[in-house]
Structure 1
């Protein structure tokens, strides 16, 4: 996994713009259609507006998909304005990597709501960042990512029995799928890099 990305991040908990993010979140939730994942989408959008996370414009979706998401989940609301300084794009050299992560997630979708499809693409885009998944998504805590995974991709989330960090966990699943085992440690518990994969994500 390429961790060498130069984009800065600032979590909502750390930035002086936190009150603005909370205000944007509240405004979006007033328009929420009472469908799954609206709390998560509103947090991502609020964070992106103040420069938190590393998702590119439209949360990493195509513009048409983003507009469909926004109109479905926040009818009557106006999409938050994203500063041109925050418009990011991904190297095409990592397109296959994003597609693999998206496919992995979709294999395990709950099939309760179509927003799971959008979330799979958004999570895959966030995996291109170099920080914890909840930070790169612009969510407000690790608990948000755990909610995202268990609610939308429950059979995959159930495999994370040792509470591995979510981005590490997703890449480990990809490696196991393809038969590539990049870690030489016979078990996680005795690995010298244990804390890179497990433990706090604050």
Structure 2
């Protein structure tokens, strides 16, 4: 399972991050030591990022720090569903919550090659959330809807998704 976790999930995230193609902040939301430990465990070396990429990552970190309460709520939600035996679970909680603060679909903000891989990541890392998303709602919207239903300060625009004008923006159609 460890090789699958690295190959399927962490490798594309790390490679996209190092190319500056994610919405992740400096060190992917981890501290520098945690980031370097993750790279070492994956058999990757830390690369020197181009100055413009590093500047962009630093700015994202500053923006993330302005939304720290939201980040912490996302992390709590993810931790509650985290599969305890999966490798690098706490790191994934931090990275995934950080990516949620981006402006695109979560799989893009995270640096995944396609949405189905993100769905598989939820199945393996966060099984109860995966099961709860039984209507295939887009993951970022689903997480924020969970926060809303748990009494967070997030606006749920419709009492019922099926009645909402934005239904097709939220749900992936087969």
Q: Does 2:17 align with 1:48?
A: yes
TM (norm. structure 1) is: 0.75
SS in 2 for 1:53: coil
Where has structure 1 moved over 4 Å in runs of 4 or more? none
Structure 1 residues 78 and 160, CA gap change in structure 2 (3 angstroms): same
Structure 1 residues 118 and 141, CA gap change in structure 2 (3 angstroms): same
Q: Does 2:37 align with 1:86?
A: no
Q: Paired residue for 1:60?
A: 29
SS in 2 for 1:158: helix
Q: CA RMSD in A?
A: 1.9
Q: Paired residue for 1:140?
A: 113
- On the 8 A contact 1:46/1:80 being kept in 2, the answer is no
- On the 8 A contact 1:164/1:197 being kept in 2, the answer is yes
- On the 8 A contact 2:5/2:87 being kept in 1, the answer is no
Q: CA deviation at 1:177?
A: 1.0
Q: Paired residue for 2:93?
A: 120
Structure 1 residues 50 and 94, CA gap change in structure 2 (3 angstroms): same
Q: Does 2:103 align with 1:130?
A: yes
The total of aligned residue pairs comes to: 166
Deviations 1:91-132 (A, max 9, x none): 222011111101110111111124111000001110110000
Deviations 1:2-38 (A, max 9, x none): xxxxxxxxxxxxxxxxxxxxxxxxxxxxxxx736344
SS in 2 for 1:90: helix
